Structure 1
Amino acid sequence: MLAYLVVSALITAPFSGVTVDNLLDRPMMVSDSVLELSAAEVSERASATLTELDGRPVAETQQDFELNMELELPAGRCLITVEAQATSVSNDSYWVSINGERLESPILPSIGIMSPRSTTADIPEAGRHTLTLSLREGPGSFISSVSVATVKTDIPHPPMRAELLQSRPRLLFTAADIEAMRARVADPRVQRFYTPASVRSTKPPAFQPGQRNGAAYRTLGNFALSHLLAPDEQQLASVLEWLEMAATFDTVGVDLDAAYFMEGLALTYDWLYDEIPSELRDRLREVMVRQCDLLYKASLAGATGGGRNFQQNHYWYAHLALALGAVALYGEEPAAEQWLAWAWDRYERIALSFSPDGSFHEGPSYWDFSMPTLYLYTDLYEWCTGLRIPDGDQGLAGQAQFRFHHLYPGLERSAALEDSPVTLGQPAPGLLLWEAKRFRDPATMGMAQLLASSPRSDRHSFLWLDESVPWEPVSEAVPLARYYVDVETAFARTSWDQDATYVAFVSRPLGGHRYAELCARYGIGGTGHNHPAQNHFVLFGRGAVLAGDPGYTYEKKTRNHNTVLVDGQGQYGDGERWPGPNPGRAHITRFATDGDVTIVTGDATSAYPPELGLTRFERTLVLAGRDLVVIYDQLAAAQPRTFSWLLQHWGQVSTEEERWSIVCEDARLTVAPLLPDGVVGLTGTHRPQYTHPTRDLTPENADVNELQLQVGPVMETVFLVPLMVADATASPDSAQDVSTDTCYAVRVGDVVVGFNRGEGMMTVPLPWGEEMDTEAVTVVARIVDGERHVVTAPSE
């Protein structure tokens, strides 16, 4: 079995000094205790019952819970900390009030694990004050302790390099760089990717209370950069018109909208600083100060987008917004120093908890959405501080290739894994340029070259381009198959040709191993865009999706995927809108690849709740060349269960002699189960839940066809299912069961795929009439163009 990654405590963040061993600590916050209440004292003062939880005393909140604390406090900031555990989303928040005035951000205890959660409050003047902790939702949460402390900010390092303090621009470049930047625009290598934007013709929208207002501003920096590179009075006039409207805005929340707004506003404010009238700058500064103050206070309370969930894209967006505003305002607003220091502190938590193998757990669509934010945040951190990110390059290197492996043959569409729409296409070339530049990687540059069909006018395509990086063809530089150990995802294709056959396979803990362990350790979350779909695969061949994934849904269901149900029930998180961390530790146990043959095995036993009694679910997927995929499942349970083997598709299905033919576009998939005996095939159509109270993601092909192969109730069984890929007009091949006493084996044409029944020697019949004795667990033997080929997956 391949060993998966565990959390390393060897890396110390250079700005904050934290490690993964104290990831929730706040060393910047120096506190002096004012009050500490035990669980017994809480239950004496408020409506709570003293009881025990996991061997420790706790106060269980009752319906009228309200804890009042009268304290002598100095003027300044105080920290209110509650060590608590919620049981569900129905009791996972408390209100805090100061002298009867409720704070905007609640305290949000973690669900299922006891951990401290805090918020801060500004005390305007010294004296006696009443602090009140009350229920925001229902009773039933458990409190271990409550404390109040005065707090001051101790900034460990200058958050801005001295040479940037008086510089305008200062965000990502300075005035000294502009002449060289303008010269680059004429370079044909740059023109391959970038062209300055035309004058913006759209008018700025007015602020609408209660609505999302920031999104329209996200691209404003593209036009500001274009003016800086190719000065144009009309472009400047348009940008200033947008800034005039921005100066009328109220705050835009503490989540995505704040990042959209600040991304456009802060970059433009800084880049065109000397060309913005001083009176307008003053008004814009007031808007950004209000926004940053709101973000900062919400972050201290863990109430920004993403909460304290370091690997959730909303967390990245909210704190990038704070960093952008603070850098733009530094030296003009006194509070900007602590805002910026806090933004760097938050960034380091992202870097320390990031997947270390060049992968990303939220799927390809959220990769496209999130990586621009992470890359910009990374650039700002290093540019402003002069520090190198902690432990980050290990995970940032290879991100582009991870995303590229999601592209189906033809490189137009992407596999809709996790929360990704089925219509998802290519990533923007500018995102690949960031990695090519940072690591001077010819392979990544080759991917960007291949996807850059025409130049773009976004700032990424210019600022993240290093035209001096050489490039290599994808067919030579990028492997056909790749396994990502942390997020336990494997990709394989038979070639880089358009008519290749492609598979992707997933078997993992939600969030990947590193983040799953941190979630369990600290009671954090952020896995809501992951699906309960372990041992799931997708298959693409002959230009069509043959075994698919319905993608982004608002009810994540195991039955929407190509895996197995147990008595009709799915895996941890089944049916949830945003699945949270869980004890499941599915993982890939074996990966072997050679040319157009790939063998991958996953163990998803632990992905199912224990009440289902599942004791084994190991799946081996074999890509045995362009025309054949074989699925081999070993299933067992403590009691007799009905096992349902699932395949989702958008084709027309027909049945003949216990095999099913699925025609989709110009392709045919023949499903010919050889085992188990007595399997019952069911076909039908269902529509996943694509609608949300505020959004409707229903795609054009919303109705998904399903083939179910059922057996049981039984205590154990084996599925041996060859999937034969062919042109729609071709006659399907036949599949033969050529199993022996020691192996399960299937033959299709000149290909034999064998699986070891036990742990010792197996005898595999070969397509050229001989037998092979081997201790391997899987064997693929083929005759290709008259040549004999054997690929094995060893037992260890």
Structure 2
Amino acid sequence: MEKKLFILLVLFLFAGNAHAQLVYLKEGAKIPNHPRILLLQDEEKTILKNITSDQNWKKIHQVILTESDRLINQPVLERVQIGRRLLATSRECLRRVFYLAYAYRTSKDKKYLNRAEQELVKVSQFTDWNPSHFLDVAEMTMGVAIGYDWLYADLPQASKAIIKEAILKKGIEPSFNSKYNYWLKVSNNWNQVCNAGMSYGALAIYEENPTLARQIIDRAIGSIQIPMGDYKPEGAYPEGYSYWGYGTSFNVLFISAVQKVFNTDFGLSESEGFLKTAGYFQHMVGTSGKNFNYSDAGGGASLSPAMFWFADRNKDNGLLYAEKNYLNEEKSMSKDRLLPAAMIWGKDMSLAQANTPKQLMWVGQGKNPVAMMRTSWTDRKAIYVGFKTGSPSVSHGHMDIGSFVMDANGERWSMDFGMQEYESLESKGVNLWDMKQNSQRWQVYRYNNLAHSTLAFDNEFQKVEGKTAIQQYTTKPQFLSAVSNITDVYKGKVSEVNRGVAIINQQYVVVKDEVTTNENATTVRWAMLTPAEVTIEADGTATLTQNGKKLQLKVAEPANVTLKTWSTQGTHDYDAANPGTILIGFEAMLPANSKNNLTVLLIPEGAKTEPTIPVLKDWK
């Protein structure tokens, strides 16, 4: 059976596979014995030493053991597919096996071995791992590969045979089918996750089929360079915070495993912008504790194991500043399927030396340029602003160009909805992944610019193919700012529109737009999405209130506009409810062939403002 399967796979490889010829690996490359993935034999001793000397590491270690104990009495996983995805099951398999295998390697308690074996055998006997949605296959393969490799010496031979065949048949084989492997040529997170998963499968069964294993890993080294090109030049990740946590983490899992086995990562970690991307991720969380959740992102923030790898590679313990602060969130930590990797990547580091970052401003260009600024890392009441440019056409993109989030006094005042759960849309027939201008995707309320803290002209959508960047920015603590020419996403509506966002004197925020109209008059809508209660005052300002704290919204230009609010309830039955949110802003008629300034001040309680705000060209 295995011999026939092996012959079939080799035929797949050499008959029409563009990656059949080895480019990066050598035919006779020798590799370590099991365990070889991420953590070699006896390397857990370093982890155990770290635990005894540092209470921070002990806390993470204990979270894994406690959760592993809880898993002992849980029923094994069943093949439960939700819509087009088996992904939840695959992810839970990876989490369970990673935790249980880690618990066994660090404790040698066979209850963890036996429970992991049950899980491994059960998922290996599923009919398939759902190759039509290949992320499901990738994560399942990774989980099974880690279990097979880490527990290899102590698993019964009969179980190993079942698991090994599943890695080959249900994991690796479908990756050569052109119906399923389009991810080899794309630049989004699918490439990173799927190449990592397949390579873990190849490493697990390497000695059984070395030729096949080398082809898979060699293919991955070449393919994964495509999404790694998107970190250029400063490390901004195009798909945003949540997908950084997905794609980048699996990219690191791949690099780390390859480095461990072959003593080289083939230059991947030196790709332009890649090591810098840790700075992007660190600055993406505001002073409210919420992330800058543009595009298809969720709003939370939690410990990221990948940051331990970046801290080690950059020799910068300051990158773990936020991670150290997450250590008390044991419940959220135990949900992270990659948590044991933090113990591996951080085993030579001290969390006690996670110093406070010094940089208050971070700017990254690339496909989706962003700027993040704050007045302090240590003051929970500090101001934070995240400013988004880029293009709606980027993977997982929204029509959110020019949008911003703002924190002050521990609250988020200007917010972003982020994603709507995919299955809630797909189950109602929404064609969510067509990114063309007139596609149904943009009818989803949360996805278009009318639901974001940005501009609209005549209530029209932004142009999908528009591309914008950050033209200038300042890093002085008394004037942190970024300016973007966002004309391209309003092509045909206006001649030019520039938006600048600044924190002035560490006191308040200014959002300034300079709009030049064409031969047609237009109505501009300035809006800010907020979770606060809004009261429009007699003096024309608005008071925003939440959790006993207040923020004033004041329009300095144009004069005599009337503030108003808009509902955040979508118009379609597939739109998610958005309770507790509202849009606050104004509309203004802009004459043809005119130059117009829109200047809005966001003023926390007690802040002092300047009498005038300079024009954008002077924000230097």
> Structures share a fold, TM > 0.5?
yes
Say whether the 8 Å CA contact 1:169–1:273 is kept in structure 2: yes
Displacement after TM superposition at 1:562 (Å)? 1.6
Determine the C-alpha separation between the residues in 1 that align with 2:10 and 2:99.
41
Question: Structure 2 length normalisation: TM-score?
Answer: 0.82
Determine the C-alpha separation between the residues in 2 that align with 1:660 and 1:271.
60
Determine the C-alpha separation between the residues in 1 that align with 2:19 and 2:279.
44
1:216–1:510 distance in 2 versus 1, CA, 3 Å: same
Query: Pairwise mapping of residues 335-414 of structure 1 onto structure 2 (< 5 A)?
Result: 335-390=212-267, 392-393=269-270, 394-410=272-288, 412-414=289-291
Query: Pairwise mapping of residues 430-445 of structure 1 onto structure 2 (< 5 A)?
Result: 430-445=305-320
Say whether the 8 Å CA contact 2:590–2:596 is kept in structure 1: no
Matched, 1:170 2:28: no
Determine the C-alpha separation between the residues in 1 that align with 2:9 and 2:103.
43
Determine the C-alpha separation between the residues in 1 that align with 2:327 and 2:281.
15
Structure 1 residue runs of 5 or longer lacking an equivalent are: 1-74, 80-119, 124-148, 512-526, 574-581, 734-748, 758-776, 779-792
1:247–1:296 distance in 2 versus 1, CA, 3 Å: closer
Displacement after TM superposition at 1:302 (Å)? 7.2
Say whether the 8 Å CA contact 1:436–1:469 is kept in structure 2: no
**Structure 2 counterpart SS, 1:588:** coil
**Structure 1 counterpart SS, 2:521:** strand
The one-letter code matched in structure 1 to 2:322 is M
1:752–1:384 distance in 2 versus 1, CA, 3 Å: farther
Determine the C-alpha separation between the residues in 2 that align with 1:753 and 1:390.
51
Displacement after TM superposition at 1:360 (Å)? 1.1
| Corresponding residue to 1:719 among 597, 602, 605 | 597
User: Where does residue 433 of structure 2 map in the other structure?
Assistant: none
User: Where does residue 562 of structure 1 map in the other structure?
Assistant: 453
User: Where does residue 167 of structure 2 map in the other structure?
Assistant: 288
Determine the C-alpha separation between the residues in 1 that align with 2:539 and 2:158.
80
Determine the C-alpha separation between the residues in 1 that align with 2:153 and 2:27.
21
User: Where does residue 142 of structure 2 map in the other structure?
Assistant: 263
| Corresponding residue to 1:186 among 44, 49, 52 | 52
| Corresponding residue to 1:453 among 313, 317, 328 | 328
Displacement after TM superposition at 1:204 (Å)? 1.1
Say whether the 8 Å CA contact 1:494–1:626 is kept in structure 2: yes
Determine the C-alpha separation between the residues in 2 that align with 1:208 and 1:629.
48
Determine the C-alpha separation between the residues in 2 that align with 1:239 and 1:690.
45
Say whether the 8 Å CA contact 1:403–1:427 is kept in structure 2: no
The one-letter code matched in structure 2 to 1:203 is P
Say whether the 8 Å CA contact 2:287–2:380 is kept in structure 1: yes
The one-letter code matched in structure 1 to 2:145 is A
Determine the C-alpha separation between the residues in 2 that align with 1:350 and 1:663.
42
Displacement after TM superposition at 1:288 (Å)? 0.9
Question: Structure 1 length normalisation: TM-score?
Answer: 0.65
The one-letter code matched in structure 2 to 1:418 is S
Give the structure with the higher percent helix. Answer: 2
Q: Which has the larger radius of gyration?
A: 1
Query: Pairwise mapping of residues 305-704 of structure 1 onto structure 2 (< 5 A)?
Result: 306=183, 308-310=185-187, 312-333=188-209, 335-390=212-267, 392-393=269-270, 394-410=272-288, 412-421=289-298, 424-453=299-328, 458-468=339-349, 474-475=355-356, 477-486=357-366, 487-496=368-377, 497-509=379-391, 527-553=394-420, 555=444, 556-573=447-464, 582=465, 584-608=466-490, 610=491, 612-638=492-518, 639-655=520-536, 656-677=538-559, 679-688=561-570, 701=580, 703-704=581-582
Matched, 1:276 2:155: yes
The one-letter code matched in structure 2 to 1:533 is D
Determine the C-alpha separation between the residues in 1 that align with 2:573 and 2:91.
22
Displacement after TM superposition at 1:442 (Å)? 2.4
The one-letter code matched in structure 2 to 1:670 is Q
Displacement after TM superposition at 1:261 (Å)? 0.9
**Structure 1 counterpart SS, 2:529:** strand
1:370–1:157 distance in 2 versus 1, CA, 3 Å: closer
Displacement after TM superposition at 1:270 (Å)? 0.5
1:681–1:710 distance in 2 versus 1, CA, 3 Å: farther
Say whether the 8 Å CA contact 1:631–1:719 is kept in structure 2: no
Displacement after TM superposition at 1:619 (Å)? 1.3
User: Where does residue 614 of structure 2 map in the other structure?
Assistant: 755
Say whether the 8 Å CA contact 2:473–2:481 is kept in structure 1: yes
Say whether the 8 Å CA contact 1:654–1:660 is kept in structure 2: yes
Say whether the 8 Å CA contact 2:242–2:297 is kept in structure 1: yes
The one-letter code matched in structure 2 to 1:663 is T
1:234–1:697 distance in 2 versus 1, CA, 3 Å: farther
Q: Percent identity?
A: 16
The one-letter code matched in structure 2 to 1:281 is K
Say whether the 8 Å CA contact 2:9–2:173 is kept in structure 1: no
For residues 614-643 of structure 1, the C-alpha deviation after alignment (integer angstroms, 9 at most, x for no partner) is 211111222113442222211123222221
Displacement after TM superposition at 1:691 (Å)? 8.4
The one-letter code matched in structure 1 to 2:257 is L
Determine the C-alpha separation between the residues in 1 that align with 2:205 and 2:391.
41
Determine the C-alpha separation between the residues in 1 that align with 2:139 and 2:200.
11
Say whether the 8 Å CA contact 2:495–2:516 is kept in structure 1: yes
The one-letter code matched in structure 1 to 2:365 is V
313-322 vs 226-235, which deviates more? 313-322
User: Where does residue 66 of structure 1 map in the other structure?
Assistant: none
**Structure 2 counterpart SS, 1:642:** strand
Give the structure with the higher percent strand. Answer: 1
The one-letter code matched in structure 2 to 1:550 is F
The one-letter code matched in structure 1 to 2:197 is A
The one-letter code matched in structure 1 to 2:171 is C
Say whether the 8 Å CA contact 1:247–1:280 is kept in structure 2: no
Say whether the 8 Å CA contact 1:558–1:570 is kept in structure 2: yes
The one-letter code matched in structure 2 to 1:191 is K
Matched, 1:239 2:116: yes
**Structure 2 counterpart SS, 1:291:** helix
Q: Which has the higher contact order (CA 8 A, sep 6+)?
A: 2
The one-letter code matched in structure 2 to 1:449 is K
Say whether the 8 Å CA contact 1:641–1:715 is kept in structure 2: no
1:558–1:344 distance in 2 versus 1, CA, 3 Å: same
**Structure 2 counterpart SS, 1:322:** helix
The one-letter code matched in structure 1 to 2:534 is V
For residues 548-592 of structure 1, the C-alpha deviation after alignment (integer angstroms, 9 at most, x for no partner) is 21221463201111221122112123xxxxxxxx3x231111111
Say whether the 8 Å CA contact 1:537–1:562 is kept in structure 2: yes
RMSD: 3.2
The one-letter code matched in structure 1 to 2:202 is A
For residues 730-778 of structure 1, the C-alpha deviation after alignment (integer angstroms, 9 at most, x for no partner) is 7xx8xxxxxxxxxxxxxxx562443248xxxxxxxxxxxxxxxxxxx33
Determine the C-alpha separation between the residues in 2 that align with 1:257 and 1:570.
34
Displacement after TM superposition at 1:602 (Å)? 1.0
**Structure 2 counterpart SS, 1:370:** helix
Structure 2 residue runs of 5 or longer lacking an equivalent are: 1-6, 421-440
